[in-house]
Structure 1
């Protein structure tokens, strides 16, 4: 089955025909799109953020193909199953095939990752094109350095047979650099995945800035510090989620100052 298969929705509004739990996820995912637009992480109408729909079905939400990130709202997100059937496509725009290939593969294989965020930013793509990938150059980078996975570039992600290799490369990680392509993070929630992406994007920006002075001038963090930060980050992940919640609350304040249309 492909993403061209379609189920025609009812005439009810989206909010009326979904559960309260799904609506909450829709609002959070739409806010993440708006924040990405605010932070200039977008690639026009390309790249995708997705979130698993609560419930037993293997459904996830993703952007309608053709909308800018600052046009995404809770109501215009497309609901699709992992086999590519469009369950609910309010605008009738469909979805991007590359987005379907990448996101459905991860949602099918990793049900623990409730949200998957993927970007093509300048600095993220630049780091993805470097032989050594993410370097231990900053505190931001050390939060990811020991747990980042890599997936080799195979061309535009349109072929379903790439899914197996993509998932194998991701393994048990939730941080993936797609070589010659961009960045991807997953999380236990939209909020979690967004916090991971925020730090990873920052790490890549710092790396590109540091390299402007020439590779001979780069100062890598010492191995002991790399190991220590890895332990600190692992311990933090096992504690409560207050850090993620505080970060997300601040993100929402920024987004809300631009308007609250994402909640529609």
Structure 2
């Protein structure tokens, strides 16, 4: 069995500057997710393509909690599952199978990917109608989400083609009765998308508990999405959000930088 919970030697200076920055960003993202309460014991994953390399990405070591992830103990693997970075840690097959297929086939729109099991997102994934247009945040995502029927734990490579097919041209795939997969060309964009999706799902769960919701009409959704795209360009697609949360986790524990 691979080594677990062993402090790793810092890789700073041993990998390219681009890879080290990617490691820092991904480790920070794991700590932010942990702070938000989006972790799921030692399970679930956030992955990030290694800049300047073909078909390699970084992912969390299997067996570590999100608050134990650091820049140096992230595992570097290729899309075939080979450990190409010399890490002593193993990778959860369920994480590799799903994430690798998206990284391999979707190009730049899936350079950063997360899969979570938060209560609110799983609840909406399990709702017959999925995410409904009943809040500000939910309107962000109307007609921009794919849905994939539950087939059991995602460890079989042959399911990958169906995942990509059901995703279509979108960047969010709601795995029914399971949880969402959120992706973007940057880790900052993926994070802010996940944040807004989580809020949309929390609000839907709360609203439906009160009875029949007020649904936003399509013409209003269209205007909302048009204006939102203009506003998003001012914040660098999540850059301001991501940097703000990095400052927060640094105040709590900056060991992720190791």
TM category, shorter: over 0.9
1:261 aligns to 2:255 (yes or no): yes
Alpha-carbon distance between aligned partners in 1 of 2:231 and 2:165, rounded to the nearest angstrom: 26
Q: TM-score, normalised by structure 1?
A: 0.90
1:225 aligns to 2:225 (yes or no): no
Give the structure 2 partner of residue 7 of structure 1. Answer: none
Alpha-carbon distance between aligned partners in 2 of 1:50 and 1:77, rounded to the nearest angstrom: 10
Cα distance, 1:241 vs structure 2: 4.7
1:63 pairs, out of 57, 60, 63, with: 60
Alpha-carbon distance between aligned partners in 1 of 2:127 and 2:10, rounded to the nearest angstrom: 47
Give the structure 1 partner of residue 241 of structure 2. Answer: 247
Give the structure 1 partner of residue 93 of structure 2. Answer: 97
Give the structure 1 partner of residue 5 of structure 2. Answer: none
Q: TM-score, normalised by structure 2?
A: 0.92
> For the structure 1 residues 94 and 242, does the alpha-carbon distance in structure 2 shift closer, same or farther, using more than 3 Å as the test?
same
Gaps of 5+ in 2: 2-7
Alpha-carbon distance between aligned partners in 2 of 1:176 and 1:254, rounded to the nearest angstrom: 29
3-state SS in 2 of match to 1:87: coil
Alpha-carbon distance between aligned partners in 1 of 2:214 and 2:9, rounded to the nearest angstrom: 58
> For the structure 1 residues 235 and 146, does the alpha-carbon distance in structure 2 shift closer, same or farther, using more than 3 Å as the test?
farther
Q: How is 1:4-153 mapped onto 2 (pairs within 5 angstroms)?
A: 13-90=10-87, 92-112=88-108, 113-153=110-150
Cα distance, 1:236 vs structure 2: 4.6
Alpha-carbon distance between aligned partners in 1 of 2:227 and 2:147, rounded to the nearest angstrom: 23
Cα distance, 1:12 vs structure 2: 7.7
2:207 pairs, out of 188, 193, 210, with: 210
Give the structure 1 partner of residue 160 of structure 2. Answer: 163
| RMSD of aligned Cα (Å) | 1.7
Alpha-carbon distance between aligned partners in 1 of 2:236 and 2:40, rounded to the nearest angstrom: 31
Larger deviation, residues 226-235 vs 248-257: 226-235
> For the structure 1 residues 83 and 227, does the alpha-carbon distance in structure 2 shift closer, same or farther, using more than 3 Å as the test?
same
1:64-122 Cα offsets, whole Å, 9 max, x none, are: 000000111000000000011011253x2310001001100110011212100110000
> For the structure 1 residues 89 and 205, does the alpha-carbon distance in structure 2 shift closer, same or farther, using more than 3 Å as the test?
farther
3-state SS in 1 of match to 2:121: helix
